[in-house]
Amino acid sequence: MNWYSIRMRAAAGGPHEKGGRHISGAEDLVPETEIEDRLFYFWQKASNHEKGKWDFLQITVEKIDERVQEVSLLPVKLFYPATTVDARKLATELLGRNGITQRQINSAFQLLENPPQDIRGAWVVALDSNRVVRENVRATKFGWNQTTYQQLREMLTCAGLINTRLSEALALASKVNACPGIVAELCWSDNPEYTTGYVASSRLGYCRLPNFKPIGKGGGRVFWIEKEEQIESVLHWLREVPCLIG
Ligand code: PML
């Protein structure tokens, strides 16, 4: 069967590269028979976005030549911290189990809280050098095994959590944290109204944390890698290796 990567990005005020404001994005990996449906869904997603109206929309469809890898869905763990302080304490405790120090975690909180510029992708931080090795990194070429996706939706419906943001973040985190060299991920939404975020790793699973940031703030993602020298193989995995989450 042939697989296709479909990616959408929409912006206002021109393309992202020319300073346009990010409105919406989406990602999927589908067989040929699903392309038409997904194009329509991406069109609707971009056109009905809470962040406003786009004047730049790009949808890319690319045939995949590489072997598609099966990647396990990260288990979802739900936490209910009452405040931002509690959420960050919990995140620090969880990430500490992956060997990330309090100082390294605080630096990552700082990056998300006060981004030095308008960043849409993730920061990749090396734990051996404590340096940001790349910024604006986007994971791409991933999608759902449809049986797993239906089971996930049933589970989320039972938990009263049916939420596209969650399923999209979970698919991305599952690809990212299956990457050899990536130790863990931290994310809270760049949508000022959406205060839930997560920490994830192959050991921790997807640990969902409401109240991770105060309302009104931006956000983003940090991927921690073990060693700076792994950056090229990590980027290759994130950008090029097609993964089906199952
Ligand atoms: C969730 O679990 O509700 C998703 C949290 C991260 C959202 C990231 C985003 O959509 O910006």
Look up the ipTM and state it. Answer: 0.97
CB of residue 122 inside a 6 A radius of ligand 1: no
Cα separation of 186 and 221, whole Å? 6
- For 17, the domain range is 3-65
The minimum-distance atom of ligand 1 relative to the CA of 219 is 11
Cα separation of 98 and 31, whole Å? 36
pLDDT number for residue 117: 65
Residues 141 and 235 grouped into a single domain = yes
pLDDT number for residue 209: 98
Residues 7 and 37 grouped into a single domain = yes
- Domains contained in the chain, number: 2
Average pLDDT over residues 112-133: 88
pLDDT number for residue 79: 97
The minimum-distance atom of ligand 1 relative to the CA of 189 is 11
Q: Which residue is closest in CA terms to ligand 1's atom 4?
A: 166
Q: Which residue is closest in CA terms to ligand 1's atom 7?
A: 189
Residue 224's SS3 state is strand
Residues 38 and 125 grouped into a single domain = no
Which of 18, 39, 65 is the last residue before a domain boundary? 65
pLDDT number for residue 3: 97
Which of 46, 65, 84 is the last residue before a domain boundary? 65
Q: Kindly state the DSSP code that residue 238 receives in the 8-state scheme.
A: H
20 has a pLDDT exceeding 90: no
Residue 124: half-sphere exposure toward Cβ, Cα within 13 Å: 24
pLDDT band at 218 (very low <50, low <70, confident <90, very high): confident
Identify any residues that bridge with 197 across adjacent strands, giving them in sequence order: 188, 209
The burial class, CB within 10 Å (0-12 / 13-18 / 19+), for 164 is: exposed
Residues 98 and 12 grouped into a single domain = no
pLDDT number for residue 125: 98
Cα separation of 63 and 1, whole Å? 11
Residues 60 and 76 grouped into a single domain = no
Under 8 Å between Cβ of 166 and 208: yes
Residues 153 and 192 grouped into a single domain = yes
Cα separation of 154 and 161, whole Å? 10
Residue 38: half-sphere exposure toward Cβ, Cα within 13 Å: 21
What are the structure tokens assigned to 125, written together? 């931080």
- Counting residues of the chain whose pLDDT is more than 70, the rounded percentage is 99
Residues 149 and 200 grouped into a single domain = yes
174 has a pLDDT exceeding 70: yes
Residue 107 CA to ligand 1 center (angstroms) comes to: 21
Q: Kindly state the DSSP code that residue 73 receives in the 8-state scheme.
A: P
Q: Could you tell me which residue, 25 or 19, shows the higher pLDDT?
A: 25
